[in-house]
Structures are given as C-alpha cells and as structure tokens.
Structure 1
C-alpha cells in the first residue's frame, strides 16, 4: 500500500509499504480522510520520542471497511486502543488504560496511508449524508467534548451563566468552543494569533475572537469562569492563570511545552481548579461523532483538504505558519 512515512526530523516521504494486516478482531479500513494533528507536528519536528522514525503518522481518520462481513460500511476511527479489562477500562475511562495504544505510535502504524487495521470496537458507523472529511473531525473534537464535560462537573454554576475563554483556534480549540456553544455557554472568547485563522474561526460560531498579542483586545483579567488551554505552552498557561476568576476552572488540553506558566500562588489563593485532560473516553468519542452527524456542532466547513501526496508540503507550510485553516485533512 502507499503511505506517507515520517523518516526523520522535518522529513516525510511517500513510500510503498507492506499492506496493513488486521488481526482476528480487527477491520481493514480504506482511509478516505485523515487530519494532521499537533502531535503529528511534534513528531515531524523530532520532538516526540514516542514516535521514532520510520513511522506512519496520522490518527484522525475516517473511511470505509473493505474486508469482512461489514465491507462497505463507512466509519470514523477512535485511534485509542485499550485493553478492555483493566480498572480504568471497566470504569469507562479507557483513555487512562495503562496498556493503551494509539495508532501512529509503535507498535501501531498510523493512518497517513491508503489502509488501516483497527479493532472493530474502535469504529463508529457514519451515515451517508456525512462526508468522510467531517467524520474525521470526530477525533480532535472529542478532545474538546471530553474537556468541557470534565469542567462542567467542577464548575459551581451552569455553562449558560459562564464566561468561557478558549486559547487557540485550531481544530481542538475550535472544537471545544463549538461544544461550549452547543451546550449553551453564555459567552465564548477565542484567542488566536493567526489572522487568517481568526477570520475562519469568527465565521464558525457565535464567538468573540481576538488577537492575544493586541493589548486590551480580550476579556478582562480574572473575569473568566472556564478557560480551555488548547495550546499548552508557557505563555498560554500564564494567560489562563490570569484570566480565570476566583473559583474558576482551567482545562488543559494542549501539549506544546511540558513546564512553566502557571501562577500557582494565585491559583491556590483564589481556589482556581486546574484539570489536565487526555483525549476522551469511548463514550465521548461516540457522542461527539453523533453530535457531528446530527449537525449540533455546526457546519464544520473550515477544514482544508489536500491529497496525501501533498503531505510533506502541508507539514512544512503548517510549521511555517502559512496555513490559516483550523485543520488540514489529507485524502489518500
């Protein structure tokens, strides 16, 4: 099969590779759409030791089953493969399974390829009226779905009376904002430094989009009930610490930098809750997919599409900051 292979820092090559071979409990999926994630970018830059070269990256996938009794069924793929028997899995928190695997990380190759092997329990059927591109957004948007759900359990007020701030207008940040909007959040701010992306994000929902580099353009400090940090660098954590009001909640999704930024003294004195959130549960993924299918998360018309062969150029342009779309989808 053909695949886009990560071969070393800032190096990707189209190659002929051995065909994906599904195990007994797995399906063979022909990949029709697969998104470029921030974690793919970290690997591409050589910043992720969990993804050593050579490796097929990509985990935000949708396509069609091409082998077995379900042949022809269109599906979106939950890339987290859990054991199913540990305490976390039994409790419905498979994202915390100590033996979890994810496609695009050894021993599982990713979805920047024509075909993918995935356990049958990891797919959700896609209705005919939903495109594979929209279906592939289930994975990044499930991160926001899970994050907002965690925050709702902690907030001492309803979302309808809450001021919310999302740091980062990429697919995960925009997805979180769309989830907040679908659940009736009272006010939603989105901070995004890319001017082209700000324009796209502004049209995706009823949001107050601003450039955080412009003084006075965002909400007042200490005025936000819920902050979603979808970037996860020192600067955004500092912004989150300053933005949250006393008793507020910060939900941290991004993994840009490992340390720095949090104002621990203020968070302690003002009882600001910090929640680290990792991906989503299987239920979150299914619920997000069905919200996409039902149209509850908007038109989802903000992704850029490119052929898989254009992958090397797409990665280079994203790294250079020349891509304004919140999500780039590759089409094998």
Structure 2
C-alpha cells in the first residue's frame, strides 16, 4: 500500500537542505510513480543546484540520479509495467521515497537484470555522460580522443569511447586516484594538468576529439581549457559537456588559430532513447562497468554529511550511493 506521506530531502533555498515529511506525489495520467530503491549524488550538477541555479527554483526535492520500482501508473503512461525496475534520464526529485516521473519527457529504461541495486541508480549518470559522444562516433581521421576531467562522467566516457571503437584514449585529471582508475577502465595515457607548465603540451599526442567533462578550473595561470585545446589537432572537435559554476574560460586565439569547432552533448530525447538502448547493452555485457565507480554507500538519512564531503573533498569519492531500503 502506498502511504500518503514520505521522507524527502528538500532544498528550501540555496544552501539549505532539510529532511522533511512531505506528501507522496499524485501522478497524472501520463506519469508513473516510482518507489525509490537507491539514489546517488551527482558530483557535477548537484553542487551548483545546491548553491542556487536559475533552472531549479526552490523549494524543490533535491537529486536526480535514482532507480526504483514502478508502483503506480497512469492510463497514458505507455511502455512500462507495474513492478518493473527502471532508470531514467532526467527528472529532478529523486531524493525521496517516491518520485513521479513522466516517461514521455525522459529517456526511461528497464534496469538490466544483472545490475545490483547499488549499480542501478548510476545508470542516470551513464546515460547522461554518453550523450557527449552519441553523435560523435569514431570514423576515418577521428580515432584519438582526449577527456579532460576523470570524475564519474569522464570515467564512464573512457569506457564508452573504448566500446565505440576509439583506438587511443587520453585522460586529464588533477587527482591521482582518478587517473589510476581511468587506466584500469581503458585509458591509454593520463596526464595531470597541474604538471603541464606554460601551456606546453608538445609531449602529449594530438587528439582528433577533445571532451570537456570537468567543472570549475582550480589551476592558476593559463586556463586548463586553453592548454587542452592546444592538444587537439588543427581542425579537431571539442565537445563541451561539463557544468562549471563560474563558467568556462579559454583563449579565443588558440581556439581560432587551431581551427577547432565546438558542440555540446546530445539533448534530442529520441536520439538519447535510441542510443541509450545501445548503452544499456554495453552495461549489460560489461563493456561499461559501474561497480568500480562506487566508492561510498550511506543511508538516506545520512545524506547531508556525505554531500558536504563531496563539496569539500571531491577527490575522496567518485559515486556516493544513498539507500532507502534493501
């Protein structure tokens, strides 16, 4: 039986999160109600939403990475059945015991049978990260790729690039633990941008494609993006994926002199649904591994200190799983 109220982490105003008792969402005819099994912290977007974001007015139920079981469905919610375990990209309101989701507005999938409860909520991140390359397949003259930022999204993209057929994958990240993990997940080489002095990248093989997966730039001197652009071949592609709260700085001169072009990730839901089925298959057969990304597991009630640790020490964890129930 579905209760009338539930616990949820509510962002009352920027910087103020509270665990509250709220009403269970009432679904429309085109929605499903999902009993959340697990959720996880988004290292990229959650900090910016927490501090205040124009696209997310408060108060709101926090979080957007989750998975669970459909316990109620409207008459016009097609393609899914009661009892199915599902994951989806993208709908806010995940840090609660129940969430109303509109299948027609998101890319929703049945959770692969071989995924554990802890792995399932990370599928939102997997689908989100893979959007960076869904329309950038390897082809003649485009076989080498560099990924700047080896956080959770970057580590997923290392695996997706390998599964797509990129032959040489290079990673950039400040933190040694992430660089080591990228090696184990398929990167051919990794670099610490803090050790690249004065924009000198001549020792790094040029890439055909560069993907910006990181957030705020913490290094002094020349912007990291400018140095990264120097490592992309003349006429190459830069995919801008990350969400730096302070914006992205780079030299227009370097961008123009190297005749680079830039695009964002895929946002066409039809493409995400279609290519997402391929991503689900890559997770199912092990070409994209989720378990190595999980570094912390906490109860939902203990979310706040875990989130504060993500804010203050991003190098100490990759994916933090939040658990309501077994």
TM-score computed with the length of structure 1 as normaliser: 0.80
Q: CA deviation at 1:268?
A: 2.5
Matches within 5 A, 1:172-251: 172-215=153-196, 220=203, 223-233=206-216, 235-251=223-239
Q: CA deviation at 1:230?
A: 0.5
1:115 is matched with 98
1:52 aligns with 2:57: yes
Give me the whole-angstrom Cα distance separating, in 2, the residues matched to 1:197 and 1:40.
Answer: 20
The structure 2 residue matched to 1:310, chosen from 302, 316, 320, is 302
Specify the SS of the correspondent of 1:133: coil
2:253 is matched with 265
2:113 is matched with 128
2:45 is matched with 39
Q: CA deviation at 1:259?
A: 4.3
Give me the whole-angstrom Cα distance separating, in 1, the residues matched to 2:299 and 2:202.
Answer: 39
Specify the SS of the correspondent of 2:87: strand
Q: CA deviation at 1:3?
A: 0.7
2:147 and 2:158 in contact (8 A); partners too? yes
1:197 and 1:325 in contact (8 A); partners too? no
Specify the SS of the correspondent of 2:45: helix
Give me the whole-angstrom Cα distance separating, in 2, the residues matched to 1:43 and 1:168.
Answer: 20
* Superposed CA offset, 1:236-256 (max 9, x none): 422332221112111110110
Give me the whole-angstrom Cα distance separating, in 2, the residues matched to 1:200 and 1:287.
Answer: 24
1:292 aligns with 2:283: yes
1:93 is matched with none
1:229 and 1:236 in contact (8 A); partners too? no
Matches within 5 A, 1:161-176: 162=144, 164-176=145-157
Give me the whole-angstrom Cα distance separating, in 1, the residues matched to 2:206 and 2:236.
Answer: 9
Specify the SS of the correspondent of 2:287: coil
Q: CA deviation at 1:158?
A: 4.1
Q: CA deviation at 1:42?
A: 0.4
Give me the whole-angstrom Cα distance separating, in 2, the residues matched to 1:152 and 1:257.
Answer: 29
1:146 is matched with 131
Query: Which aligned segments of 4 or more residues in structure 1 are displaced greater than 6 angstroms?
Result: 216-219
- Aligned pairs, number: 299
Query: Per the alignment, do residues 277 and 323 of structure 1 end up closer, same or farther by CA in structure 2, a change over 3 Å counting?
Result: same
Specify the SS of the correspondent of 1:147: coil
1:252 and 1:274 in contact (8 A); partners too? yes
Q: CA RMSD in A?
A: 2.6
Query: Per the alignment, do residues 239 and 31 of structure 1 end up closer, same or farther by CA in structure 2, a change over 3 Å counting?
Result: farther
Give me the whole-angstrom Cα distance separating, in 2, the residues matched to 1:278 and 1:127.
Answer: 23
Specify the SS of the correspondent of 1:306: strand
Q: CA deviation at 1:126?
A: 1.7
Could you tell me which runs of 5 or more consecutive residues in structure 1 were left unpaired when the two chains were aligned.
80-102, 105-109
Give me the whole-angstrom Cα distance separating, in 2, the residues matched to 1:233 and 1:148.
Answer: 22
* Superposed CA offset, 1:249-268 (max 9, x none): 11110110464533323333
1:157 aligns with 2:141: yes
Give me the whole-angstrom Cα distance separating, in 1, the residues matched to 2:232 and 2:120.
Answer: 33
Q: CA deviation at 1:2?
A: 0.8
TM-score computed with the length of structure 2 as normaliser: 0.82
2:163 and 2:282 in contact (8 A); partners too? no
